[in-house]
Structure 1
């Protein structure tokens, strides 16, 4: 009775990040899944927000395309950065300065935007929050295998045992819950259609790292309980703090071509995921890590070219 059908063309639109809420409200017939925008549509939407019916000036075409691309297809992000660009001088130098760090410009210019993303995090149950924050340990645009991610969560102690389900079933429910809330995305799929890899949107990853820093969950200069290394530069910081590194409980390496004798410092580590590191031979220091719950690594063999005279 509150929404009578008066045949006047009125419609009610309800938006939500939670798939189960949408299905409950709308059913399958009226449910529409909003997809991320491609680069071309992102650029066009940004131009429409900033210039309206006017054409984008030729000298700004390149920088507009880059800013639109850096929004990673998220309409809300494009709307926020478009509002910011509408208020600044239409000069290439000013816009290129914004394009240097689009994510930071979006977050800093619109508190409402951050509140929307924080709302999604705050509504997570206690057992899902650390699983979500853990995604901040991986680089931008990083696809992680579901089997690897589930093993890490279990080894970290995030997954609580349920007498009615196995740990594998429980952690599968955790992954499904984060996907249904649109906080992580399914990447590649197996032949049977089941998810194989997962990823996280750049702006949601930024939320992960901010919250992880607030809650002292990941890398910190004064606390290295969980250490994530993505480059040789970060590895140098780890090597420069042997006392803090010795207290680390988790060590995750996603970088390529990183070689370091860091294992001798990880005396208390329980989770060691170093698939990104290159080893010419098995590091025997691993045998000294008596607290290990999970070890993931690859042994890379290199064959040098032989020249015969």
Structure 2
């Protein structure tokens, strides 16, 4: 089995090195000294006749897969390639006919079990921290990365109920204060947005966190602000619907309700994304939230 984090490498040579280091008996120094063309051949020969599974984690552009697929032999013996992506369109293009499995948010019990395991490992959680711990897990909104990051904060704190309660009320501020990894990962999704979608995403910060936003109202407001561009052979309302779908496929926007015929009636934005939206909107001089 081999694991390649595509978003961190994003270069053919680096991806080949990551995979070869997981599948070959050669040491790291030997692999790093192999030339580009020989590297591809070495990987192909290493995998030839073997059943393998390769995980390409966080693929953001189908070109990353196109760059290396010829280096992976298909001997029809059960080998598999698994992609993870924050963009459904990229996942569909990369799999071209394979199965896609959109991940759901964790339910409360799953969130609490993950948080508890990350903080205490196999040790039991002190009884006085159970209720506040469940509140923290619930306030993470079912997003695994949020739970993992807040667990790293809790591990550094004294196991006092008052300290945990403070964290429960200020999830995002604690994460952003204690670690930049979380914010960098979220902002990468924003940075990958095409320019025409960035103001549409910024605008979501105007709505109250957790509020369901009617799609027709949102599209009407985007139109009023002049965010909807012109595309050849497409009506303006269809362009706006395309923008909405693109934000949903990139997991920047969540579907709340659908009509009986499957059309999206309302949407919302995850709490962590909402906080990031406000921060980036202020940074980009798009808007500024004023609290009384």
Mark yes or no: TM-score above 0.5: yes
Q: Secondary structure at the match of 2:112?
A: helix
Relative contact order, CA 8 A, sep 6+: which one is greater?
Answer: 2
Deviations along 1:82-112, whole A, 9 cap, x unmatched? 1111121111122112222011111221101
Where in structure 2 are the equivalents of 1:230-309 lying within 5 Å? none
In structure 1, what is the equivalent of residue 55 of structure 2? 12
> Which TM-score applies when normalising by structure 1?
0.68
The answer to whether residue 192 in structure 2 is matched with residue 123 in structure 1 is yes
Contact 2:278–2:289 (CA<8 Å) still a contact in 1? no
Select which of 117, 141, 144 maps to 2:213. Answer: 144
Q: Please list every run of 5 or more consecutive structure 1 residues that lacks an aligned counterpart in the other structure.
A: 222-233, 238-309
Larger deviation: 154-163 or 71-80?
A: 154-163
Match of 2:74 in 1: none
Which of 149, 162, 179 aligns to 2:231? It is 162
Q: Report the TM-score, using the length of structure 2 for normalisation.
A: 0.72
Which of 182, 197, 205 in structure 1 is aligned with 2:274?
205
Residues 25, 51 of structure 1: alpha-carbon distance in 2 compared, 3 angstrom cutoff:
same
> Shift in Å at residue 173 of structure 1?
0.6
Partner of 2:111: 42
Distance 1:31 1:80 in 2: 27
Structure 2 unmatched runs, 5+? 1-40, 58-83
Measure, in 1, the Cα distance between the counterparts of 2:48 and 2:113. Answer: 36
What is the distance in 2 between the residues matched to 1:151 and 1:185?
A: 18
After superposition, the CA RMSD in angstroms is 1.8
Deviations along 1:176-216, whole A, 9 cap, x unmatched? 11011010011100010111101100000001100111122
Displaced runs of 4+ in structure 1, greater than 3 A?
A: 5-11, 27-30
Measured after TM superposition, the shift of residue 25 of structure 1 is 2.1
Which is helix-richer, 1 or 2? 2
Distance, in Å, in 2 between the alignment partners of 1:205 and 1:115 is: 15
Cα deviation 1:153-195 (Å, max 9, x = unaligned) = 0010000122411110110110011011010011100010111
Cα distance in 1, alignment partners of residues 228 and 278 from structure 2 = 21
Per mean C-alpha deviation after superposition, the further-off stretch among 210-219 and 79-88 is: 210-219
3-state DSSP of counterpart to 2:264: coil
Secondary structure at 2:195 match in 1: coil
Which is further off, 138-147 or 23-32? 23-32
1:186 maps to which residue? 255
The 3 A distance-change label for structure 1 pair 5 and 66 is: farther
Cα distance change on mapping 1:154 and 1:76 into 2, 3 Å? same
Counterpart contact for 2:106–2:143, Cα < 8 Å:
yes
